[in-house]
Amino acid sequence: MSMKLQFAWVLLILGVPSVALSQQPDTPIDLSRALEIVRAVSVDVQDAELSVQVAERELRTRKLAWTPDLNARAALSGNVGRTFVSSEGANLTRPVASGDTSLVSSVRLWAGGERLADLRASRADIEFSEADLAQTRLDSSAAVIIALLRLGDAEARLTVSEADLATALDLEARITAFVDAGARTRADLAFQHAAVARSRTSVLAARQARIDAQLSLVELLRLDPAIDWVFTPPESAPSMVGDALSLTEKAIAQLPSMAAAQADIGATTARIGSALSGYLPTLDLRIGISTAWISSSSTDLGSQLAERANASAIFTLNVPIWDRGLTRESVERAEVSQRRAQLRMSALHERVAIEVRSLLASRQTALAGIEAAQLQHSAAAEALSIINERYDAGIASLFELSEARSVLIAAENELITARTGALAVDFDLALLSGQLPAKD
C-alpha cells in the first residue's frame, strides 16, 4: 500500500474532521468547491487563524495595562511567651494574637510612552497575522490548483493510453486476419502481441497515476478516503492582461506577503519606541485602605478596626539614571529587527518582480510549445495514416507502423504536457495578480 493511501486510511481511523458530510460523493468537486473546502479544513489555515486570535488577545492584554489593579491582603499572627504590649505598658505571658487587612489599588499614570508603542506594535502584529492568514490561504489554493492540474494531466494521459490500447487491439485483429489469409507472417502477430502487452501496461500505469493524483486531492482536502470522490480539473485559467510592469504593480499591491512584510516593519518600528521609553521617567499612583486589631487590647474588635482604619495615596516618580546599558541594548536590538524587516521587504519586492517576468516568459514559451506540439501531432497523425495504408497494401513493415504509432503517442503526450504547463503558468499569474482572491 502506498504512503498516501496509508495516510488517507489513518485520517479515517483517527476520525480527522472532514467535509464529507457536507459534500456529496456523486457531486463533482470543481476548482471553486475545492478552494472552498481547503480553506475550511487546511491545518495550515487553521493554525494561521489561531495566530490571528493570539495576536488579538495580545492587544487586549496590552490595553489592560492602562487599567488599575486591585489587591486585598489579610494577615494573622500570634505570639507565645513574654510579649510586650504597648497598650498595656507591660510584658504579658499569655498568648497574644493580632491581625491586619488592607485593600490596595495601583495604576501607572505615565510609562514614558511604552504602552502607546506596545499598542501600535500589537495592532501591527494583528495586521501581520491577518496578512499571513491570507497568504496561507493563497498557498493552500495554489496547492489545490497544482493537484487538480496533475489530475487533469493524468486523466488526459490515461485517455491517450486507452486509445492506444484500443488501436493496438484493432491492429492485432487485422494482423490475425492477414496471417490467416497467408498475407503476413506469424512474426508480425507475435510482435503485435508484445505491443498489446506494452499498451496494457501503459494503461495500468496511467490508471495508477490518476489514482495517486486523486488520493493527493483527498489528502489535501481531508475527504473521506473510503469514498470514491469525483473531481473536475479546470480546463482554463483566468485571462491575464497587462505587461510585466502592470502585473508587478498588481502583485505588489495585493499579495498578502507584501502586506505582512509592511506590517512587520510597522511592528518593529513601534518596538523601537517601546524600547526608547526606558530612558524616560515613570509615574505610579498607589491608593489603599487598611486596619488592624490585637487580642490583648481591652477594646472590642469593631472599635479597634474603626480606630485603626487608615487611608493612603502615594505618588511614585521613577527617574532612570543607570540601568547597566539595558535600555540601549533594547533599542539597538529593536533597530536591528527593523532593518531586517526592511531588508525582507526589499527582497520581496525584487522577488515578486522577477517572478512575474519569469512567469510571463514561461507563458510565451508554453504557448509556443503548444503550437509546436499541435504541429507535431498533426504531422505524426498524417504520417501514421499514410504508413497504415502502406502496411495494409503490404508495402510498409509492421516495425515502421509501430514506430509511427509511438511517434503519435509521444506527440499526444507532449501536447498534454504543454497544455498543462500553460495552465499552471496562467494560474500562477492569476494568483500573483489577485485574480484568485486569498480571502474568503
Residues 211, 228: contact at Cβ < 8 Å?
A: no
The Cα 251–Cα 433 span in angstroms is 5
Residues 290, 101: contact at Cβ < 8 Å?
A: yes
Question: Pairing relation of β-strands 90-92 and 83-85?
Answer: antiparallel
| Alpha-carbon distance values, 195 to 206, 232, 314, 410 (Å) | 16, 32, 98, 15
Q: In which element (H, E) is residue 315 found? A: strand 310-318
Domain ranges of the chain: 3-65+112-279+324-433, 69-110+282-318
Q: What is the pLDDT of residue 95?
A: 66
Q: Is the pTM of this model over 0.85?
A: no
Give the right CATH number for 69-110+282-318 from 1.10.1750, 2.20.200, 3.90.220, 1.10.8. Answer: 2.20.200
Residues 81, 276: contact at Cβ < 8 Å?
A: no
Within 8 A by CB and 6+ apart from 432, the residues are 247, 250, 251, 255, 352, 355, 356, 359
Residues 315, 335: contact at Cβ < 8 Å?
A: no
| Residue written as grid cell 486509445 | 163
Q: What is the pLDDT of residue 71?
A: 93
List pLDDT tens digits, range 100-149: 899 999 998 988 888 899 999 999 999 999 999 999 999 999 999 999 99
- SS3 call for 155: helix
Q: What is the pLDDT of residue 7?
A: 43
Pick the closest to residue 258 from 395, 115, 134, 84 (CA basis). 134
The secondary structure of 255-304 as a DSSP string is: -HHHHHHHHHHHHHHHHHHHHHGGGS-EEEEEEEEEEEEETT-SS-HHHH
Q: What is the pLDDT of residue 20?
A: 42
- The parts of the chain modelled with pLDDT lower than 70 are 1-26, 79-96, 296, 436-440
What is the b/e burial string over 4-15, where b = at least 16 CB atoms within 10 angstroms of the residue's CB? beeebeebbeee
Pick the closest to residue 108 from 162, 158, 163, 69 (CA basis). 69
The Cα 225–Cα 215 span in angstroms is 8
| Alpha-carbon distance values, 411 to 167, 254, 280, 375 (Å) | 16, 39, 75, 9
Q: What is the pLDDT of residue 307?
A: 83
User: Which architecture does CATH list for 3-65+112-279+324-433?
Assistant: Up-down Bundle (1.20)
List pLDDT tens digits, range 367-424: 999 999 999 999 999 999 999 899 888 888 889 999 999 999 999 999 999 999 999 9
Q: What is the pLDDT of residue 118?
A: 92
Q: What is the pLDDT of residue 433?
A: 81
